Structure 1
Amino acid sequence: MKVLVTGAAGFIGFYVSKVLLNKGHDVVGLDNINGYYDVNLKYARLHELGINKEAASNYNNVCKSTYSSHFTFVKMNLEDRSELPKLFETETFDVVCNLAAQAGVRYSLENPETYVDSNMVGFLNILECCRNYGVKHLVYASSSSVYGLNKKIPFSTDDAVDHPISLYAATKKSNELMAYTYSHLFKFPTTGLRFFTVYGPWGRPDMAMFLFTDAILKNQSIKVFNHGNMERDFTYIDDIVEGVVRIIEKPTTERVQNNELYKLYNIGNNNSVKLLDFIKEIETNLKMEAKKDMLPMQPGDVERTWANVDALIKDYGYRPNTSIKEGVKRFIDWFKMYYT
């Protein structure tokens, strides 16, 4: 297949692109390489895919990979209404995997316009291009943050998600509603994936795993919100990507025949881990004790997440299973190699 992966310089998009290439697909990667976090890490990921930094820095420049003849990269904004349709017209994609978004719950409190531009206007442009250029399947990233203050545990895609508590979560819920509308009106399959606290090598510097490791190694204190009374369904990157690629590769013919065009899945480890236990695992691997700055709950945060993945098991025969012990060790090994 020919697959468009947006957010290809990002954490998950980089891995998805790499796995799809290894499985023989043609991949076009798209990213605007914004400055939300260190762009050097984004260019380093692209380098792993054979993309030259200087060439990738130029807007709307199609870059050929030295790693694989099946990969090209283009720097572009999703909200670019003139250039994005041209890309779709030129490339004729079978599947679009939309992983590009302005990420981060806390950042959305200070920069709301960025989230509307990227996560809503950009997503609308993706939907329009999919329906106008014959894309067979749109797979897109949602988030566990849409569950907001839901009390029922574990979180199920059958639960109501009408009370998001951050703008980031609200934009992701909006994406799900927009996808439903387009599937209903224009009869093409869309699949939303609610990711649960993704971590691992090449991860985002604004995520807890990265922040904690960096601070502990520098002998600085770490910020522990809600005084440590938090739990997360930490999901290792390889498990996330395995789920995404299975969904991309599975034909949608049966779904179309059964008029099951709109689908949602949780992708999580199906296990809630105490934040302090997570920190302990990092300390064990670093052989250092963290200095903990115990703080109240941050606006937009939730106390607990936990994914019900029954639908993923039923439809794709798959459930994530990498343990925290194994996943944290892999991240620490990468972090030491990359930064020291």
Structure 2
Amino acid sequence: MKVLVTGAAGFIGFHLVKKLIEDGHSVVGIDNINDYYSVDLKMDRLRECGIEIAGHTDGNSYQSTNSSYIFCKLDLTDMEELAQLFEVHRFDYVVNLAAQAGIRYSMENPRSYIRSNVEGFFNVLECCRIFPPKKLVYASSSSVYGLNTEQPFAVEQKSETPINVYAASKKTNELMAHAYSHLYNFTTIGLRFFTVYGPWGRPDMAPFLFADAITQGKPITVYNNGLMKRDFTFIDDIIDGMVSVLNTDHTTKYQVFNIGNGKPVDLMHFITCLEKAFGKEAIKNFREMAPGDIQSTWADTETLKSATGYVPKIDIEEGVGIFARWFEAYNRIGNIAHAE
């Protein structure tokens, strides 16, 4: 099948592209390669997929050393270029992972979330309307549950009370997808990601920040005095779940699934796992809860399991160990400083 992956230089997008290529599919990846976090890390991910970018001109296409992968430097807000890409390739499947990420940054620069996450997603939907794929799969987030306190979070529960602009933009994506599925009769699947971690992860997220600080003997910031729980989900489980969604025939045109590990982990236990993996104790600076943050997340994944057979396999100790080994290897060749 021919698949478009937006956000292909991002953490999840990079891993999905690698998996699709390994499975023998034809892939087109796009990314605007913005500088919200390290461009060098994004370039390194692209190199892992056989892409070497010589320049920075939007619209440029790059052929991977693997003949089944093409990468285009493109911003989703460029509707003309995006529509041309859809017209040329006539994708069987579209996976939209491109977004302005980060909860805390959404309080500093909310406009970028509306532009990237709402306007950009609108353009993807419009292109799918004009050149319909068999299926559009897009990234939502566990943050849509907002003020909802009933756990585990289930897709049937209330998700209309987001407490930050990032979450609001993701809930908006779900509503927009519903409207387009209803009006134009193509399948949309929203995936509410829970805390994803693993090799090649984002340097603005806790696992990377903690690992960097622990290995350098610097303090880590622990919010809410450590009284946090997260449904940490290893990247390989996320990718397996996404591939199963692509491969499954769905009975309804619009669906939303939680995709997580289904086992909330105490933040302090996660830190202990990192300390064990690196053989060093973390210096901890405890802080109050940050504005816009959620104390606990826990995914009910039964609907995804029923639809696709999804069962996560990697527990927190194993996953943190794999992440730590990658982090040390990446650090040894001098890349961590550039990824910060």
Q: Please give the TM-score of this superposition, normalised by the length of structure 1.
A: 0.96
Match for residue 6 of structure 1? 6
> What is the DSSP-based 3-state SS (H/G/I as helix, E as strand, rest coil) of the residue aligned with 1:319?
coil
Q: In 2, distance between residues paired with 1:41 and 1:150?
A: 35
Match for residue 295 of structure 1? 287
Match for residue 60 of structure 2? 61
Match for residue 42 of structure 1? 42
Deviations 1:223-279 (A, max 9, x none): 000000000000000000000111112244xx2xxxx10001001000010000000
Q: In 2, distance between residues paired with 1:263 and 1:188?
A: 11
Q: In 1, distance between residues paired with 2:92 and 2:249?
A: 11
**Letter in structure 1 aligned against 2:46:** L
Residues 4, 91 of structure 2: 8 Å contact kept = yes
Q: In 2, distance between residues paired with 1:302 and 1:27?
A: 36
Match for residue 122 of structure 2? 124
Match for residue 315 of structure 1? 307
User: 1:155-304 counterparts in 2 under 5 A?
Assistant: 155-252=153-250, 255=251, 260-304=252-296
1:314 Cα deviation after fit: 0.5
> What is the DSSP-based 3-state SS (H/G/I as helix, E as strand, rest coil) of the residue aligned with 2:79?
coil
Gaps of 5+ in 2: 333-340
1:194 Cα deviation after fit: 0.4
When structure 1 is superposed on structure 2, of 311-320 and 174-183 the one drifting more is: 311-320
1:134 Cα deviation after fit: 2.0
Query: Hey, which bits of structure 1, 4+ residues long, moved more than 6 A?
Result: none
Residues 53, 62 of structure 2: 8 Å contact kept = no
Q: In 1, distance between residues paired with 2:249 and 2:51?
A: 30
Q: Please give the TM-score of this superposition, normalised by the length of structure 2.
A: 0.96
1:321 Cα deviation after fit: 2.6
Count, aligned residues: 332
Match of 1:336 among 308, 322, 328: 328
**Letter in structure 2 aligned against 1:323:** D
Match for residue 26 of structure 1? 26
| Identity score, percent | 54
**Letter in structure 1 aligned against 2:264:** S
> What is the DSSP-based 3-state SS (H/G/I as helix, E as strand, rest coil) of the residue aligned with 1:129?
helix
> What is the DSSP-based 3-state SS (H/G/I as helix, E as strand, rest coil) of the residue aligned with 1:101?
coil
Q: In 2, distance between residues paired with 1:136 and 1:125?
A: 17
Residues 139, 192 of structure 2: 8 Å contact kept = yes
Q: In 2, distance between residues paired with 1:203 and 1:16?
A: 13
Deviations 1:91-120 (A, max 9, x none): 110110000000000000001111001000
**Letter in structure 1 aligned against 2:50:** G
Deviations 1:15-36 (A, max 9, x none): 1011111111100000000000
When structure 1 is superposed on structure 2, of 241-250 and 24-33 the one drifting more is: 241-250
1:53 Cα deviation after fit: 2.5
**Letter in structure 1 aligned against 2:274:** I
Q: In 2, distance between residues paired with 1:262 and 1:239?
A: 23
Match of 1:111 among 67, 92, 109: 109
Q: In 1, distance between residues paired with 2:171 and 2:313?
A: 26
What is the RMSD of the two structures over their aligned residues, measured on CA atoms?
Answer: 0.8
1:52 Cα deviation after fit: 0.7
Residues 221, 292 of structure 1: 8 Å contact kept = yes
> What is the DSSP-based 3-state SS (H/G/I as helix, E as strand, rest coil) of the residue aligned with 2:297?
coil
Residues 267, 320 of structure 1: 8 Å contact kept = no
Q: In 1, distance between residues paired with 2:148 and 2:239?
A: 26
**Letter in structure 1 aligned against 2:39:** V
> What is the DSSP-based 3-state SS (H/G/I as helix, E as strand, rest coil) of the residue aligned with 2:162?
coil
Gaps of 5+ in 1: none
Q: In 1, distance between residues paired with 2:265 and 2:14?
A: 26
Q: In 1, distance between residues paired with 2:236 and 2:52?
A: 25
Deviations 1:149-171 (A, max 9, x none): 21111000000111100100000
Residues 88, 129 of structure 1: 8 Å contact kept = yes
Q: In 2, distance between residues paired with 1:221 and 1:275?
A: 16
